[in-house]
Amino acid sequence: MALVLSICCLGGVVAQPSFVTEHARQIPVAYDVDVVVVGGSTGAVAAAAAAAQGGAKVFLAAPRPYLGEDVCGTYRLWLEPGEKPVSALAKKVFGEPPSSGPVLPFTYEADRPSSAAHPDTKPPSLLCDGQWGHAASQSVQYTEDVALTLDLGKEQSLKRLVVEGYQKSGVYAFAGLTISVSSDKVQWCETRRLENTNPDPEEFAPLELATPLVERARYVRLQVRKAPDAERFLLGEILLESAEPSPTDLRRVWMPTPMHVKRALDEVLVEAGVPYLFGCYPTDVLTDASGQTAGIVMANRNGRQAVRAKIILDATERATVARLAGATFQPYRSGPHTFRRAVVLEPGAPAEPRVGNDVQGRELSLRVGDGIKAYRAFEYALTIPMKDGSYRSFAQAEQLARDETFDPAQVDASEFLFQVPPDPLEGRARESGDWPGAATVSLDVFRPARASKTYVLGGCADLSRDAAAKLLRPLELMEVGARLGRRAAEGAKTLARPTGVRLAGAVRPAATTGSVREVLVGVRPTDRGLPTIPQQARSLPVLGEYDVVVAGGGTSGAPAGIGAARHGARTLVLEYLHDLGGVGTLGLIGNYCAGYRGGYTAEHDKEVEALGAAVHVIGKAETWRRTNRRDGVEVWTGALACGALVEKGKVKGIVVATPAGRGVVLAKTTIDATGSGDLAIVAGAGYVYAGAFHVALQGAGLSPRTPGQSYSNTDHTFVADTDMVDVWRAFVYSRQKFANSYDLVPLPLTRERRRIIGDFTVSPLDLVNHRTYPDTIYQVKGGFDTHGFTVDDFFLLNAQGPAIGYAPYRCLLPKGLDGILVTGLATSAQRDALPPMRMQSDFQNEGYAAGVAAAEAAKLGGATRKVDLKAVQRHLVDVGCLPGSVLTDRDSYPLPEEQLAEAVKSLAKTKWTPSYTRKENSPEAQSAPGLAVLLTQPCRAVSLLKEAYVCAETEDAKVVYAHVLGMLGDSTGLTSLIAAARSLKWDDGWNFTGMGQFGTAQSRLDSYLVALGRTHDSRAIPPILEKLAELTPASEFSHCRAVALALETLGDPAGARPLAELLAKPGMTGHAIATIEQALETATKDPNDTATRNTALRELVLARALYRCGDYHGLGKEILTQYAHDLHGLYAWHAQAVLRERRR
């Protein structure tokens, strides 16, 4: 079997230990506490809460994007026989709802045929097949009321009825149903009427109607009524629960949903006042002046930070912190080791557990949450050969386990393997017998003999391995955690605050030269002035050496590994999450919105289809994994790229944080597929994000998840991916928002992140004008699906157009750096060009192309600009990624003079309307066809437009020319523009819209006002102030933004008082979010909520304008200061940038 493959045969292994020198530096102190808890297990939460209740100041660092990793990550969510929750925390997490009986089988018939759009089978069966959750494929549609008669085969005692359906008000919904029962199908007795008063659920999620039953019957009739305002209704499943016990011998167990566990643990820490963060790996241990432990250093997407602490409570899976502190452990012996992994299938899935010499399994029937659906689950015990206890060995074991246990019918599975560690620590006491129980076990078995002020809460405690297995059951782990938390709090009271704290180090001979670069500001990019701790020069271990390393295994990273490996490169793909594919798999965006579907994307899609997985996104993730491994790529999940090794502008490797610590991976070529330019930026690349200029950012989501679901798209917040406080807020807030769902996706669905400044930056005009290049690397076939408002002049002039074009290789090259390519959302592009460029199918082709180019660069020692690009393009043409024309294309810019002249003429004929009132692909959406041409050369355009304005024969034409001239900073047509603005009343404005927003986001009058401000002419002030005086708290965001942009551009103090008076009106201020409690108060059930963003953005842009106009009684600065500390990273980033400006 595949499991006997030796992990000793890994490619890229460094034969002898080698190192890279990390020079001395200062590490910012993010938290200064009594007790730091490292790890996010149920026991860790219990310890942190108990320590806080004991009076200690506590911080918890969780490695994954949630708490409860010991049960949720391993999918060990059920209790074993005899385990009963006793403590308040245990009951909160594992308190079981009233038990339910088995689901009864039945057949049914309908008194009318189902619709062709969502037909039932013949004979009908879809409503009793155990499958629901997907409106598109697991529903039956009716356009009129229908009577469904269920036949149970014999008279049965009934306990409960559940009807699963789907709802989108005004489109598809059912009003309710009437329930009747019969024993002979002749005499019927009406027993219940159920009315559907539920609001719309999360997008495409099922809606449940349930009622208890007490009757005995063979037949049940459901008369389902269509909602009066709906065109149709969709049913997903009907379940009848029996009042009689199940005759089956299969063990049926209850478990809480992952969402319930994670949210309950969130609530415990929030209520206890314990600050905590997700995505943080411990990398080092601090010591004080006497050499005693004094806290930790942690790594995350915003670099490294120190946590100074009197006591460390190490709740990591393998006692990582204690190992870093020098504790002694028994050896992790080479040879076979036992691991466990769970795979979950839909009820009735035609699959059997795998069996063999190295794989043993047991089957469970799982009832999840308060539902009655019983999932099949296989819990496997796998024997896997391990070279050693290194992270690399565990990464390979994970892949081998998945090779053996993947099932095409699975709907969920363990994120990582479970093992009782075979290498316990040497404690101050040892328990060599059976587990004595959480209440009586000596706490000294959790105290390393050689690491002071440290406790180890986990399977590496000094216990017999049988006892350790019982400790790792969640009820025991929580009780021990609470005891250790109380002990830590008591101990902290007797200790002084550590002094002389530092990160000590020793330097060994280096395998290569270069500077280790990383972010050292705090847990937020906006942190400033934090205290620091000195780090001595030290050596970092080299974890491996490859031709190509891909940081990030998402939409572009997974195919990048494949492209590199197929062109001869020894390749490593690193991914922080547990699966490959990013937004397109774990993010549940399982459908292509737009984009080019040919090329490598077509190959990948065929492989996904051939795999035949029941759940598309699971099959897609597995296909990425299998194809990478088949092509020779090494895959590390749970690994976070957090720094770069750079020498003279050449990226030579990356710094990686893993569950086992931190090290360096050397590479000839690096591909930054982090989606936010994490590596390129720390290496020295310039980047663009929200700053003082604007606060525009595409909306983001964190979506609910149901087993078997492949699409769940939301847009309800903003998230700055590298702001660890913002990411924490988003997860906690979203779990509250979608509290009744099965789970939440593990990554924020951000559509816009930091973008590098590359050798070339793609603009919206490049796409609208179908610009060609000699170095085209991938095709762009999207649309301006902006998920918010826009900032480019093209959109400020209310123009729009198609976005079908190309992206050049140069936009993957960070300016000033060699040896690195950047893909995905961090590609060098203007923010308004990003929406059409970010289509999944296009990014997959981009990633594959980047992998090919990186492999070729590796043959040249990583010289990314010396690659034979025509050879790369020929291969991309051969595989269908690019058309043959790219081989002879040249840059189509600059556009010829005659085209500019014709564009000017065409403007006078244009009637512009705001694009938010129409679909992007409608005929009228192609507004101002000449504008996209003209704006490519603004200086020449101004000259042509001024001439056209003077010669215009109608006032309408003069207004058109004046409008464009004003937006380009010229006041030639000011009088015409003022007259046009004054002639208009406030028109229909635009409030912030995320989902479904295309193109511009302002009205005609809005655009005129912005253009007036752009003239920089004081004569524009009166008409702008006239419109400002008419605004009220009910006015749309676009109107407020327009006057704000106009007045702050002019910067005249005359605007200050009117702006302050508008902000003083009821409801205009007070929308900054400073605490998680405030954030949770704003959580609604709407998956695409915009109200909270609309009010905050309105307040922020008006306060910014007020501040830039000289302020009025300090109100502008006061509001900006509030937002400078907002939990939303975007708002904090923008407000701080504005406050740092020099005042006029």
Distance CA 946, CA 958 (A): 10
Same domain, 120 and 216: yes
C-beta atoms surrounding 385 within 10 Å = 19
Domain range for 1082 is: 699-735+1057-1144
Q: Say what the pLDDT of residue 12 is.
A: 52
Same domain, 152 and 44: no
Evaluate if residue 620 carries a pLDDT over 60: yes
Distance CA 66, CA 64 (A): 5
Higher pLDDT, 506 or 783: 506
Q: Which residue, 477, 493, 509, sits at the end of a domain?
A: 493
Evaluate if residue 369 carries a pLDDT over 90: no
Give me the residues paired with residue 296 across strands. Answer: 285, 307
Q: Say what the pLDDT of residue 98 is.
A: 58
Residue 6: pLDDT band with limits 50, 70, 90: very low
Q: Say what the pLDDT of residue 922 is.
A: 42
Count CA within 13 A, CB hemisphere, residue 1077: 7
Evaluate if residue 535 carries a pLDDT over 70: yes
Percent with pLDDT over 90 in the chain: 83
Give me the residues paired with residue 161 across strands. Answer: 211, 240
Distance CA 184, CA 218 (A): 7
Domain-embedded: residue 624? no
Distance CA 546, CA 653 (A): 9
Same domain, 84 and 115: no
DSSP-assigned letter for residue 309:
E
Q: Which of 372-381, 392-401, 571-580, 600-609 has the lowest mean pLDDT?
A: 372-381
Cβ pair 915, 796 in contact under 8 A: no
Distance CA 590, CA 618 (A): 9
Q: Which of 239-248, 443-452, 667-676 has the lowest mean pLDDT?
A: 239-248
Domain-embedded: residue 1046? no
Which of the given ranges, 129-143, 201-215, 709-723, has the highest pLDDT on average? 709-723
Same domain, 37 and 160: no
Distance CA 420, CA 431 (A): 16
Q: What is the CATH number of the domain that holds 394?
A: 3.50.50.60
Domain-embedded: residue 1114? yes
Domain-embedded: residue 112? yes
Percent with pLDDT over 70 in the chain: 94
Q: Looking at the 3D structure of the chain, how many domains does it have? A: 3
What average pLDDT does the structure give for the chain?
Answer: 93
Q: Which residue, 445, 468, 493, sits at the end of a domain?
A: 493
If you average pLDDT over residues 547-563, what whole number do you get?
98
Same domain, 400 and 269: yes
- Written as six digits, the tokens of 520 are 């050292």
Q: Say what the pLDDT of residue 15 is.
A: 56
Same domain, 237 and 266: no
Same domain, 271 and 367: yes
Cβ pair 580, 49 in contact under 8 A: no
Q: Say what the pLDDT of residue 11 is.
A: 44
Same domain, 59 and 148: no
Same domain, 312 and 348: yes
Distance CA 351, CA 407 (A): 8
Q: Which residue, 195, 222, 244, sits at the end of a domain?
A: 244
Count CA within 13 A, CB hemisphere, residue 32: 11
Residue keyed to tokens 């937002």: 1123
Same domain, 480 and 372: yes
Same domain, 223 and 290: no
Q: For 32-42, write each residue's pLDDT tens digit.
A: 999 999 999 99
Domain-embedded: residue 536? no
Cβ pair 633, 512 in contact under 8 A: no
Q: For 920-974, write each residue's pLDDT tens digit.
A: 444 334 446 689 999 999 999 999 999 999 999 999 999 999 999 999 999 999 9
Q: Which of 418-422, 600-604, 903-907 has the lowest mean pLDDT?
A: 903-907
Domain-embedded: residue 793? no
CA distances from 289 to 28, 492, 660 (A): 18, 18, 26
Same domain, 339 and 434: yes
Under DSSP, is residue 520 helix (H, G, I), strand (E, B) or coil? Answer: strand
Domain-embedded: residue 803? no
Distance CA 870, CA 858 (A): 17
Q: What is the CATH number of the domain that holds 188?
A: 2.60.120.1190
Q: For 1107-1131, write each residue's pLDDT tens digit.
A: 999 999 999 999 999 999 999 999 9
Evaluate if residue 769 carries a pLDDT over 80: yes
Q: For 236-286, write each residue's pLDDT tens digit.
A: 999 888 887 655 444 568 899 999 999 999 999 999 999 999 999 999 999
Domain-embedded: residue 251? no
Higher pLDDT, 125 or 1026: 1026
If you average pLDDT over residues 398-421, what whole number do you get?
97
If you average pLDDT over residues 412-417, what whole number do you get?
98
Q: For 448-487, write each residue's pLDDT tens digit.
A: 998 889 999 999 999 999 999 999 999 999 999 999 999 9
C-beta atoms surrounding 167 within 10 Å = 21
Q: For 1015-1038, write each residue's pLDDT tens digit.
A: 999 999 999 999 999 999 999 999
Q: Which of 131-145, 529-543, 561-575, 836-850 has the lowest mean pLDDT?
A: 131-145
In 90-232, at which residue ranges do the beta strands (DSSP E only) sit? 107-110, 140-142, 146-166, 174-182, 189-195, 207-212, 216-226
H-only helix segments in 133-239: none
C-beta atoms surrounding 475 within 10 Å = 21
Evaluate if residue 125 carries a pLDDT over 80: yes
Evaluate if residue 9 carries a pLDDT over 50: no
